[in-house]
Amino acid sequence: MRVAVAEDGALFRQGLVLLLEAAGHEVVACEAGGDPLVAQLSTIPADVALLDIRMPPEPDGGLVTAERLRAAHPDMGLLFLSHYAESHYLMRILEIGTDRIGYRLKEKVGSVEVLSDTLTRIADGEIVIEPELAKRLVERPRSEKRDLVASLSERERDVLKLMAEGRSNNGIASTLFVSAKAVEKHVANIFDKLGLHADTSAHHRRVQAVLTYLRSQRGDA
Amino acid sequence: MTPGRDDARRSAERWRDRQTLERRLHDGPAQRLSALTLRLGVLRADAPGRNGDEAWHRGLDVFQSELESALQELREVAGALYPPLLDEAGLGPALRELVTATGAVARVDVADVRCGTAAEGAAYFAVAGCLAAADATPGRPEIGIRVRVENDDLVLTLSGVDPDQRRPVLDEAAPLGGCAELTGPAEITARFPCA
């Protein structure tokens, strides 16, 4: 895969290039900030751009850079790597795009298998969210009023958590050891209970289900 | 009781020092350790002859998991010094993140304005203290967290809280020249002068 990197920490940037190359990927651009990467990628094609969130242009250059890259190259995957996994950034990231996009902790992509799996899923169009963040958001008990999940069964909650990690129905089925048909039924029930009806595409509703849930958990109106 | 202008200035300076320490943790040790997880991944991939060597792989697993624990501990220390999100995005996002992360039962209504490192830091930790105290209370009533800016003061109104929390809130506000009053049976209003 052709990948581009923007990261202001020299040590992490060098480590990332070494690991990407060990995993058999081609690093087509490698910069210390967002602006030079955008300039490079105006002429060099790349499949996925790996972006630090906290880098120049300050304070959260990764997000600004991602917006510009998404506008100029809609098919390019975007993977945010950060020292922090925060729901605030997850919401901002999902505002930039809900496909070909990912958000992972820097120390969780330190093997060729995990790094390649993350990049492949993004290039295939999925959302990849740090599992710990998805879990934290889905499992916290809340007050009755906001606890949309209170209306979900335990199994539906498991399915929603895996949806929040960006898993496909088949992926969820194999994780939970149930049939894909059973997962489809759970997903339909989740859409129904969260009030997401069939006027939009399945992918869009899937993202909406996750976003509705995340918003409810954050105490937003 | 009211601190002088110099005391308030020194207190504000200490908040900026805390923020600087958080940045140093992020740019220094945290970056070194996360870079090491990548080097460890390269080492694992570069050892074809070691594929059958269970002990070697177990050793690398321990190494990786210890690095992850060290990074998690660094994040906790950094958060106790000065939450990075507070610096980058302001009080509203930082407080919403706190509510999400702690599972507190709270409603956040924060004006989208910036009030400086010291006032924002002191108000954040005043709220964090109240949420932690309420967490131990049975029944856990919903806490209202409201922030507005009036006459160059960050005004924090906490509702549904124990009146005993006025003292710890005052301890955050007073060094900056602010105050904290009971404004209802379960309501505290505190003012933090913006720098």
Separation of alpha carbons B123 and B148, rounded Å: 11
* A127: three-class secondary structure by DSSP: strand
ipTM score here? 0.89
**Mean pLDDT computed over B48-67:** 84
- For residue B155, name the pLDDT band (cuts at 50, 70, 90): very high
Token pair 């895996």: residue: A162
Q: Are A2-129 and A135-218 the same fold in CATH? A: no
- For residue A50, name the pLDDT band (cuts at 50, 70, 90): very high
- For residue A131, name the pLDDT band (cuts at 50, 70, 90): confident
Terminal Cα-to-Cα distance of chain B (whole angstroms): 20
Length of chain B: 195
User: Does domain A2-129 fall into CATH 3.30.1360.170?
Assistant: no
Q: Which of B135, B141, B178 is nearest to B156 (CA)?
A: B178
Give domain limits for chain A.
2-129, 135-218
Show which residues on chain B lie within 8 Å of chain A, measured between beta carbons.
26-27, 30-42, 44-46, 64, 67-68, 71, 75, 84-85, 87-89, 93-94, 96-97, 99-101, 103, 105-108, 142
What is the per-residue pLDDT across B88-102, written as a single tens digit (0 to 9) for each?
999 999 998 998 788
Closest partner residue to A110 (CB to CB) among B41, B87, B99 is B41
- For residue A25, name the pLDDT band (cuts at 50, 70, 90): very high
**Inter-chain residue contact A219 with B96, CB threshold 8 Å:** yes
Q: At B149, which CATH number?
A: 3.30.565.10
Both structure tokens of A51: 């972006």
Range of the domain at B136: 87-193
Token pair 């220094």: residue: B28
pLDDT averaged over every residue in chain A: 85
Looking at this protein, which amino acid is placed at residue A41? L
Looking at the structure, tell me whether residues B138 and B68 fall in a common domain.
no
Which CATH class, in words, describes the domain spanning A135-218? mainly alpha
Inform me whether the pLDDT recorded for A138 exceeds 70: no
**How confident is the model at residue A143, as a pLDDT?**
44
**Inter-chain residue contact A220 with B44, CB threshold 8 Å:** no
Range scoring the smallest mean pLDDT among A126-140, B21-35, B89-103: A126-140
- Which of A14, A16, A88 to mutate to probe the B interface, most B CBs <10 Å? A88
- For residue A192, name the pLDDT band (cuts at 50, 70, 90): confident
What is the per-residue pLDDT across A86-104, written as a single tens digit (0 to 9) for each?
988 988 898 898 889 999 9
- Which of B38, B43, B60, B87 to mutate to probe the A interface, most A CBs <10 Å? B38
Task: Provide the 8-state DSSP code for B107.
Answer: E
* B162: three-class secondary structure by DSSP: coil
Closest partner residue to A218 (CB to CB) among B35, B46, B100 is B100
Length of chain A: 221
pLDDT averaged over every residue in chain B: 92
Exposed, middle or buried: residue B21 (CB in 10 Å: 0-12, 13-18, 19+)?
A: middle
Looking at this protein, which amino acid is placed at residue A18? L
**How confident is the model at residue B48, as a pLDDT?**
65
